[in-house]
Amino acid sequence: MAASGTEHAYSNILTSLPKPEGGEYGKFYSLPALNDPRIDKLPYSIRILLESAIRNCDGFQVTKNDVEKIIDWENTSPKLAEIPFKPARVLLQDFTGVPAVVDLAAMRDALAKLGSDANKINPLVPVDLVIDHSVQVDVARSSNALQSNMELEFTRNRERFGFLKWGSTAFQNMLVVPPGSGIVHQVNLEYLGRVVFNTDGIMYPDSVVGTDSHTTMIDGLGVAGWGVGGIEAEATMLGQPMSMVLPGVVGFKLTGKLRNGVTATDLVLTVTQMLRKHGVVGKFVEFHGEGMGKLSLADRATIANMSPEYGATMGFFPVDHVTLDYLRLTGRSDETVSMIEAYLRANNMFVDYNEPQLERVYSSYLALDLDEVEPCISGPKRPHDRVTLKDMKSDWHACLDNKVGFKGFAVPKEQQDKVVKFDFNGQPAELKHGSVVIAAITSCTNTSNPSVMLGAALVAKKACELGLEVKPWVKTSLAPGSGVVTKYLLKSGLQEYFNKQGFHLVGYGCTTCIGNSGELHESVSAAITENDVVAAAVLSGNRNFEGRVHPLTRANYLASPPLVVAYALAGTVDIDFEKEPIGVGKDGKEVFFRDIWPTTEEIAEVVQSSVLPDMFKSTYEAITKGNPMWNQLPVPEASLYSWDSNSTYIHEPPYFKDMTMSPPGPHAVKNAYCLLNFGDSITTDHISPAGSIHRDSPAAKYLLERGVDRKDFNSYGSRRGNDEVMARGTFANIRIVNKFLGGEVGPKTIHVPTGEKLSVFDAATKYKSEGHDTIILAGAEYGSGSSRDWAAKGPMLLV
């Protein structure tokens, strides 16, 4: 807003929004009052940027010239014009949220050392932090898995959780949602998303940036949101505008409706492949067309969620009647929904498909007939490598043949059919190339969608009735994104069939998709490693990059929850579901895929009878009350954090320690050595530490030296609040390829002056001790993906 005592540049368009029954909802900056015909042609996503610029136009951070650039978007966006954007709120999860709160705490210390008031450091916009990335699937296929995993989660993360609980009381404007509540993006969709804010009598669209790339899921609700690095998020928290290039917008027209048996996951994998091919990096994608009415809000959110996988900043679905229905379903009050609709209609931000549509202008155009989408999965190493289900067997055999790469494992022909027999808890077991050892219904992408969750449960039920069972050595798990899922699974009577197939509830959080899959049974691990088996994981997630899901699953496939169950039952990805039986059921009869696959009508019927508004209301009324373990955590009341020098989780970072009132200026790079030499597609999954801490890594050595047992290493993600661990884990991905190593894979490099092969951290430390600058060489797509905070901080601390 404009500075106190100055006239707002657009006060002439500040308009009252009346209530139907008298009085007013509030005032708003009216786009129609500008009387500019260019605005009617703007994509809806750009109108949100425009409204923000107008509302925040103070002549300093945001100027009238910035507003004009956005109004003239059709001409300015091709010129890569730069604009400021002030999002309405910030969203954090605990992996990326901990370092953000660590930085805020360090800023308070710095301000205190400089003689100023430390309490000035507070978020100036609402910050919601959901603790969802710390739960691991240590215990699976057990009725006590949920409780056991939560107890282990608290044992490992007590320091981190105590720190976050301190932050929730020390900082203003910060809501912390306790562990065990759900996945951040599903909680955002079902509960935190406002759609329209009404603050101090001023109404404006909800918009959000988050420190997780899948923040884009909220775009399915008509809220403009995307992932940013922790540094950008912190700047937004502190009231600074984000500087961004005014994006091009791809108009994606949807027509028709999905065929019987085709899921939202099949659709999003198809859309991901199309948009990757089209090229949408740095752009918004805005969906429109008559097919929109055939997509549920949960289907839209599934598509929006995977924006990072197709490369777009946003995959945006403007608010329409489907959005309003979802808001009512998820327990938002009728008064709130009425206010949202009234504001968006008045400000030309609502799509009513019952009215004639003005033609919007887009930078480029794509179209998809939903009827053409067919069942598919993606893998074995990238989310955009879509494979139709009917082609999966032949594609798998091609992957075995192909040289090592995104679609290849280079398994010699004579070894492709080998069978490894082993003992599993006293019973005979066997593995082959392509055997499924992890089958996980996980990740915000799909667990927020009742149709695919109940569809998966119906597959489990039909399989049970026909006498099929998942083999006991397949690690199966069910990790929903909110407690609502459990409520509708119980009401439908389908949870018992999940349990019978080993898909017991293991936790409410982001598990297998982020690498928190837990250990495999030691006999399975030994069979894989001793026989070089290309084992497979099938998960309903959004990421399947190498080394992410589990170190021992070299093939990882993204699939809908129903397909996760089907592949778990088959026990292998080396199967043609159309021609080969999944297994042998009762009375020795062969059971085929078609025998266990539910129809769209069957799923819709269960959704209709089982997913109810009261489930959302009761779940979220209790969400901030926490749980006994969270509520028992002691929290100091001090506004400055008391750093514990012995902590291996929370460590005072070095960024502000020597801060003075005079900035030091840029650092020159002279006569530098090359620390690492990469090819293309080195993503943040390769750069930023994630997943388990390898027993022989520099991070492991650091922890062992400080008395931490191997069993308590936890994950890199859980230790993001400790820069010492994270610097040692930067570029520690076990599948990373450094050209210095001549084809050898792993987190090593060559110290050029001596020719020594060292870990990346040890080499960087050696260069530093010798007084040498270093650089990193990399090809296309370096740094794409999530985890961008430590993908920036880690290399900075190394070089």
Q: What is the mean pLDDT of each run of 10 residues along the chain (799 residues)?
A: 60 94 94 96 98 96 97 97 97 88 93 92 94 92 96 90 94 93 95 96 97 93 93 89 96 96 94 95 95 94 94 96 96 96 97 83 97 96 93 97 94 96 96 97 89 97 97 97 95 98 95 88 97 96 87 95 97 97 93 96 96 94 86 90 93 89 86 94 86 88 94 85 94 89 91 95 96 94 76 89
Spatial distance between the Cα atoms of 751 and 778, rounded to a whole number of angstroms = 18
Spatial distance between the Cα atoms of 37 and 107, rounded to a whole number of angstroms = 46
Spatial distance between the Cα atoms of 322 and 319, rounded to a whole number of angstroms = 8
Alpha-carbon dihedral sign for residues 55, 58, 62, 68: positive
Spatial distance between the Cα atoms of 764 and 783, rounded to a whole number of angstroms = 19
The alpha carbons of the chain give a radius of gyration, in whole angstroms, of 26
Q: Which regions of 575-667 does DSSP assign to beta strands (E)?
A: 583-584, 590-591
Partners of 250 in beta bridges: 285, 364
Looking at residue 786, its pLDDT comes to 60
The answer to whether 400 and 534 are in contact (CB under 8 A) is: yes
Distance of CA 658 to the CA centre of its chain: 35
The three-class DSSP label of residue 281 is coil
The answer to whether 44 and 37 are in contact (CB under 8 A) is: no
Q: What is the 3-state secondary structure (H, E, C) of 524-553?
A: HHHHHHHHCCCCEEEECCCCCCCCCCCCCC
The answer to whether 256 and 371 are in contact (CB under 8 A) is: yes
Spatial distance between the Cα atoms of 617 and 620, rounded to a whole number of angstroms = 5
Q: Which of 727, 710, 728, 717 is nearest to 787 (CA)?
A: 717
Q: Which of 433, 435, 427 is nearest to 415 (CA)?
A: 433
Looking at residue 5, its pLDDT comes to 42
Spatial distance between the Cα atoms of 66 and 478, rounded to a whole number of angstroms = 47
Name the DSSP class of 712. G
Q: Which regions of 43-180 does DSSP assign to beta strands (E)?
A: 82-85, 89-93, 127-130, 174-177
Report residue 155 as tokens.
Answer: 């044992």
The answer to whether 495 and 533 are in contact (CB under 8 A) is: no
Return the half-sphere exposure (C-beta side, CA atoms, 13 A cut-off) of residue 557.
36
Looking at residue 4, its pLDDT comes to 42
Enumerate the CATH 3.30.499.10 domain ranges in the chain, comma separated: 376-611
Spatial distance between the Cα atoms of 405 and 162, rounded to a whole number of angstroms = 43
Enumerate the CATH 3.20.19.10 domain ranges in the chain, comma separated: 673-798
* 27: enclosing H helix or E strand: strand 24-29
Looking at residue 474, its pLDDT comes to 97
In the numeric block, the tokens 């992957």 are attached to: 399
The residue type found at 698 is P
CA distances (Å), origin 611, targets 191, 432, 448, 459, 561: 16, 40, 12, 18, 17
Q: Which of 240, 219, 137, 173 is nearest to 514 (CA)?
A: 137
- DSSP per position, 422-439: EEETTEEEEE-TTBEEEE
- Tell me which architecture the domain covering 673-798 has in CATH: Alpha-Beta Barrel (3.20)
Spatial distance between the Cα atoms of 548 and 692, rounded to a whole number of angstroms = 9
Looking at residue 90, its pLDDT comes to 96
Q: What is the pTM of this model?
A: 0.89
Spatial distance between the Cα atoms of 70 and 77, rounded to a whole number of angstroms = 8
Report residue 23 as tokens.
Answer: 């009085």
Question: What interhelical angle do 760-769 and 788-798 show, nearest 10?
Answer: 40
Spatial distance between the Cα atoms of 233 and 211, rounded to a whole number of angstroms = 7
Q: Which regions of 627-683 does DSSP assign to beta strands (E)?
A: 673-677
CB-CB neighbours of 768 under 10 Å: 13
Name the DSSP class of 659. -
Looking at residue 353, its pLDDT comes to 84
The residue type found at 594 is R
Longest dimension (CA), the chain: 84
Phi, psi of 590 (to 5 degrees): -70, 135
In the numeric block, the tokens 């129903």 are attached to: 562
Helices and strands in the chain, H and E counts = 29, 29
Phi, psi of 579 (to 5 degrees): -115, -30
Spatial distance between the Cα atoms of 231 and 474, rounded to a whole number of angstroms = 40
Instruction: Give the homologous superfamily in CATH for domain 376-611.
Output: Aconitase, domain 3 (3.30.499.10)
Report residue 568 as tokens.
Answer: 């778990």
Alpha-carbon dihedral sign for residues 665, 670, 674, 678: positive
The residue type found at 181 is S
Q: Which of 580, 566, 571 is nearest to 535 (CA)?
A: 571
